[in-house]
Amino acid sequence: MNKLKSLLVAAFLLVSVASFAQTGNVKIGYTNANYIISQLPESRQIESDLKAHSSQLEKELQNKYKDYQTKVEAYKKGAPTMTDVVRADREKELTTLQASIEEFQRNADASLQKKEQAALEPVMSKIQKAIDEVAKENGYTHIFTAEALLYGPEDGNNFTDLVLKKMGVTPAPKGAASTSPSAVTPKPAASTATPVKKKK
């Protein structure tokens, strides 16, 4: 749904800009911010930091899950000889642990997203500044993101290359592999424990 809205907004903007093109004062360009980020030296450090943070969270998550599994197995073995009071207490403990694991997973996802945004914010500001300068220097009146472009020439990365050069980065050869920082969200191990059911 969000992608569709973006495309509709992009289409509206392109049509609006096209209506001004008749004056002859419009010069349209587009660029790819994700590609630019992947070419910057700091992107490697950002990616390394995000992976380290992700690994730390994943390790903590796995430790929590192992503790949960151990207590589930202990509950299964001891359940037949437990009193109703003890059984209810163990079931409550396991339910609490399970909820804690789920909450940790949600917080880990949010933490990774927040860290990624904080790391990319100064980089995006730097890129925006370069885009503004290159656009003014080359007479561009409108710059779109490549993701919002509905139609354009195949070799439309010229503006992107100009931005990279403005930032002191030599553009990678066409077709060369590149990487961009991305958060790796830790995922819990698949659960093999039988859900605890309270005795009725």
What confidence tier does 156 reach under pLDDT thresholds 50, 70, 90? low
Confirm whether 191 is domain-assigned.
Answer: no
Burial class (CB in 10 A: 0-12, 13-18, 19+), 163: buried
pLDDT for res 157: 60
Domain count of the chain? Answer: 1
> Tell me: the pLDDT tens digits for 30-78?
888 888 998 998 899 999 999 999 999 999 999 999 999 999 999 999 9
**How much is the pLDDT for 159?**
84
Residue 69 lies in a domain: yes
Residue 186 amino acid letter: P
In a domain, 190, yes or no: no
CA distance 158 to 177: 18
Tell me the pLDDT tens digit for each residue of 102-148. 999 999 999 999 999 999 999 999 999 999 999 999 999 988 887 77
What phi and psi values does residue 78 have, to the nearest 5 degrees? -95, -10
- Mean pLDDT (the chain) is 79
- CA end-to-end distance (rounded Å), the chain: 45
Asked whether residue 157 is domain-assigned, the answer is yes
At position 132, the amino acid (one-letter code) is D
pTM of the model: 0.63
With 0-12 CB in 10 A as exposed, 13-18 as middle and 19+ as buried, what is 47? buried
178 in a structural domain: no
Instruction: Yes or no: say if 145 and 33 are a contact pair by the CB < 8 Å rule.
Output: yes
pLDDT at 3 over 80: no
Any domain includes 192: no
- Which range of residues forms the domain containing residue 109? 2-166
* 149 located within any domain: yes
In a domain, 112, yes or no: yes
